[in-house]
Structure 1
């Protein structure tokens, strides 16, 4: 049993080894016994596939003679008895002894695709701030399943976080060629637009300096708001623009509104702050 994906357990560690572990990766339990000839036929197939699948599932071998309590808890009456556990619950049972192609087909019926696993690994890396690893994982997922927008969007989001705007823009352009954009992709597009505007104006420091020299210039206030939003200081940016909208009655008011709509879109569809500021914008403008 050289593979790290083929394991055994005990009565004391079963919950941790199987139930808890299945929350992270599917666990396939093989109930077997030394005297069971069908078990001896099936086990090498399961072990081979566990090694080939390289961590997409864990094979947990349970000898019913050594661990009858566990076998009884699962109602095992005949063996081999092969059961998949996902998120702490039984998910699928192998119908019986089968040749390798059918066993592999059974596994594929409930296992996440390799692309989805790469995507999930990317989300974990992104959550810890490891953007380089996240990029590798998202790119792998997007390469394996190029028709899944969420993989492309995740890659674009990571590229933007790495300040690789041109590569992100290529992904957004590719997605937009379908004739529409998902809200998350629209957010990336708006963030790219804001970054382009801020690059032209010189960033927060330049915008603050210019505004200090001309504090009543509402155009400079809009530039500062855009610069703040690029640094994800959204409340400051939105409050500044709301002030312009509430106090100015010239055409600049419309510019401030357009800038705020762009910023709210850049904040993303899941932002609760964006929802609050949309309500405040509606109240202020209408």
Structure 2
């Protein structure tokens, strides 16, 4: 399944070709008057070029003829790169109607490449990586964690810094109570990846569960609350236990009860915990939407 999605070489001969200074006018300038043309400026010694090339070819091939890819070796043909003032590679220029209209420099994920191309062509079908990620998410939602893990690992093997795959794999480890592996995976990521929504969600999910073995049992906390209805610390601990067991509706309701009593309790800890849960659930989740409205009404009451 995974090999079919991201591990095979698709036939790209119709949309990918090598060019030279002599043929650049025909292969790029004239050709771009029919469909947009990407020019991949590369060199044999450039390792990032070798990583970028197969992803470019896959996305372009998947566009079903909406765009073409032309490759130019800057060592063999330095004139065009000099005219375009290219200072580092890989550099990819988009040509349309005979003119360069957009470009990027450096390594990119397959998702970023697809987004770049779609600005030129309009929507194209899901890329192989996107298909693999969707399949992994489906397995995860159906509690098939081993299958999800395999899919995420395959994506990471193809695209090592894919934030959706990293976050998905971390959540698989969390579901399996393998918190150390989740921490190891998430530690040391670049600032850019750490700020990706999927990775922030995984970090929040880890923060909700990593100390759950030290939590007081829910039964004991409920007994305390029944005797002391205004014991907000016990309610917070109960909400923490609910969240650690993925009982997010109960956790949210308990945290909202705390905020109704004291919206700034313990320096706003109930609100902070709510925000972490919302991050785990995602902004489009219905529970997130309704609970955010309830939280806002409490804050501004």
Q: TM-score, normalised by structure 2?
A: 0.53
Contact 1:122-1:133 at 8 Å conserved across structures: yes
Alignment size in residue pairs: 191
Q: Distance in 2 between matches of 1:249 and 1:281?
A: 9
- Which residue in the other structure is 2:266 paired with? 252
2:182 paired with 1:168:
yes
- Which residue in the other structure is 1:282 paired with? 296
2:145 paired with 1:131:
yes
Tell me the SS of whatever aligns to 2:230.
Answer: coil
- Which residue in the other structure is 1:193 paired with? 207
Q: Distance in 2 between matches of 1:250 and 1:126?
A: 36
Q: Distance in 2 between matches of 1:159 and 1:284?
A: 35
Q: Distance in 2 between matches of 1:152 and 1:231?
A: 22
Judged with a 3 Å threshold, the aligned counterparts in structure 2 of structure 1 residues 203 and 190 are, in CA distance, closer, same or farther, namely farther
Residue-by-residue CA offset, 1:145-180 (whole Å, 9 max, x unaligned) = 102211111211211122211111222223354474
Give the alignment of 1:145-164 within 5 angstroms. Answer: 145-164=159-178
Tell me the SS of whatever aligns to 2:290.
Answer: helix
Contact 2:136-2:151 at 8 Å conserved across structures: yes
Deviates more, 1:137-146 or 1:110-119: 110-119
Judged with a 3 Å threshold, the aligned counterparts in structure 2 of structure 1 residues 170 and 125 are, in CA distance, closer, same or farther, namely same
Which residue of 207, 218, 222 corresponds with 1:204? 218
Instruction: Return the offset for 1:231.
Output: 2.0
Q: TM-score, normalised by structure 1?
A: 0.55
Judged with a 3 Å threshold, the aligned counterparts in structure 2 of structure 1 residues 143 and 202 are, in CA distance, closer, same or farther, namely farther
- Which residue in the other structure is 2:232 paired with? 218
Q: Distance in 2 between matches of 1:111 and 1:192?
A: 33
In structure 1, the gaps of 5 or more residues are: 1-24, 27-51, 58-89, 94-109
Judged with a 3 Å threshold, the aligned counterparts in structure 2 of structure 1 residues 134 and 249 are, in CA distance, closer, same or farther, namely closer
Judged with a 3 Å threshold, the aligned counterparts in structure 2 of structure 1 residues 112 and 243 are, in CA distance, closer, same or farther, namely closer
Deviates more, 1:118-127 or 1:128-137: 118-127
Instruction: Return the offset for 1:212.
Output: 4.0
- Which residue in the other structure is 1:265 paired with? 279
Q: Distance in 2 between matches of 1:217 and 1:237?
A: 16
Q: Distance in 2 between matches of 1:217 and 1:228?
A: 17
**CA RMSD in angstroms, aligned pairs only:** 3.6
Q: Distance in 2 between matches of 1:171 and 1:133?
A: 18
